[in-house]
């Protein structure tokens, strides 16, 4: 059983954003799968997806602080420096964090740990709406 | 063909641990798959999974050294600093390394390269037992 | 429907290389899948795969600069230092970037964003030919 849906995440400011609800509401077919996998893929190179803590916004703020320090803007060795100071660091952050996530589906639900949520990692100052593809596969309920 | 198994990895000290055998023994159904994929997902935000060198323990020790230096404890900009010095760095390390891994299954075996093994990356000082979900899918032998 | 193909990427110098065409030509069965997933897995610990910008070579050059600075050679704390200065950093870079990528297949094509391509990330000075496994799964066209 394969279901695929391409949809858009609402534009968000630069930073790390919890999108578990936004994604779940877009992809209600998950309920039909007894045992399977959920893949979410982002069709951009300057934003990324990750799974992390879903309860305290200070965690997401610290993600932005860490990545800004360890993937700095205006590094003297950047040759790709003509599309904005946020551009080259965005590509690097995206590859470090990843363009897709996989979550097991069990009994019609995303089998996340109690503290896990899905983050949209927006690395551009004005990234705009982001396109993602959800692919659901597995064994359906009889 | 879909098989899913949720199980627990034994508690381990902070650091990088080779768990290929522990995982293979828990998920013997891999033998039934002629061609498919193995996904292992960890249901935690302060530990992670990766694939890396399976022969020399000094590699795993250097992983811990690298990640402690480049994802430091007690960074002055951390706002999430009330659950232990190892807490916020653990979230960051987990997202950098990832919450799941995928390995192809070929002729009933994990199709890993000769030097590849599965690591549990334990980022907390006392993380305890860690829950993982293995999802196996593919074409079975006739 | 499951298709799997193990093949070799031509040897490349240390650095980040666009391999979307090399991969697509090796795995033409993607055309048969109406809706599914493409997984590419690299069977090495000192090279990795990622998805990133496919248009400007300066981006790939800056990836190498960034990773060389933030995963340095000859760090004083490395214990695994007897297989070349490029060896231990290669393991770390590989786990940070990842051993596999997943791309949705839609209407017989890799559903990549307009600016997305597949990178082989070669972290060794003389890595040689690299073995990868492509696993394609999904619903076929009637």
Contacts of C133 in chain B (CB under 8 A): 104, 106, 111
- Residue B111's SS3 state is coil
Q: Rounded to whole angstroms, how far apart are CA atoms C71 and C121? A: 14
Are residues A44 and C116, on separate chains, in Cβ contact within 8 Å?
A: yes
Which of A133, A128, A125 lies closest to A11, judged by CA? A128
Distances (CA, A) of C101 to A76, B103, C55: 30, 10, 19
| Cross-chain Cβ contact A58/B79 below 8 Å | yes
- What is the structure's pLDDT at C141? 86
> Which of C115, C117, C114, C113 minimizes the C-alpha distance to C50?
C117
Tell me which chain B residues have a C-beta less than 8 angstroms from the C-beta of C6.
106, 111
Q: Which residues pair with C53 in a beta bridge?
A: C116
Q: Which helix (H) or strand (E) holds B91?
A: helix B87-97
How confident is the model at residue C142, as a pLDDT?
Answer: 73
Query: Average pLDDT for residues C125-141, to the nearest whole number?
Result: 97
pLDDT in tens, B33-92: 999 999 999 999 999 999 999 999 999 999 999 999 999 999 999 999 999 999 999 999
Partner residue facing A94 (CB), from C52, C62, C101:
C52
Average pLDDT of chain A? 97
pLDDT in tens, A55-83: 999 999 999 999 999 999 999 999 999 99
Q: What is the pLDDT of residues C61-109, one digit of tens each?
A: 999 999 999 999 999 999 999 999 999 999 999 999 999 999 999 999 9
ipTM: 0.97
Smallest CA–CA distance from C112 into chain A, residue: A43
Minimal CA separation from C68 to chain B, in Å: 13
Give me the DSSP letters along C12-47.
--SEEEE-HHHHHHH-GGGGGEEEEEEEEEE--SSE
Chain C closest-CA separation from residue A8 CA (Å):
13
Q: Are the beta carbons of A52 and B131 separated by less than 8 Å?
A: no
pLDDT for the residue B75: 98
pLDDT of residue B141: 86
pTM above threshold 0.90: yes
Does position C43 have pLDDT exceeding 90, yes or no?
yes
- Give C95's contacts in chain B (Cβ within 8 Å): 50-52, 63, 97, 119
């Amino acid at each position: 059983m394969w279901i695929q849906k391409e949809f858009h995440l609402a534009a968000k400011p630069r930073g790390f954003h919890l999108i578990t609800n936004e994604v779940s509401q877009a992809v209600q077919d998950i309920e039909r799968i007894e045992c399977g996998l959920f893949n979410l893929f982002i069709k951009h190179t300057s934003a990324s997806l990750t799974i992390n803590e879903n309860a305290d916004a200070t965690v997401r703020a610290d993600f932005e602080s860490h990545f800004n320090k360890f993937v700095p803007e205006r590094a003297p060795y950047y040759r790709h420096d003509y599309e904005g100071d946020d551009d080259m660091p965005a590509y690097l952050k995206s590859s470090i964090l990843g363009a897709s996530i996989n979550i097991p589906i069990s009994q019609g639900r995303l089998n996340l740990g109690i503290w896990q949520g899905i983050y949209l990692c927006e690395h551009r100052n004005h990234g705009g709406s982001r396109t993602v593809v959800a692919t659901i596969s597995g064994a359906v309920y009889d």
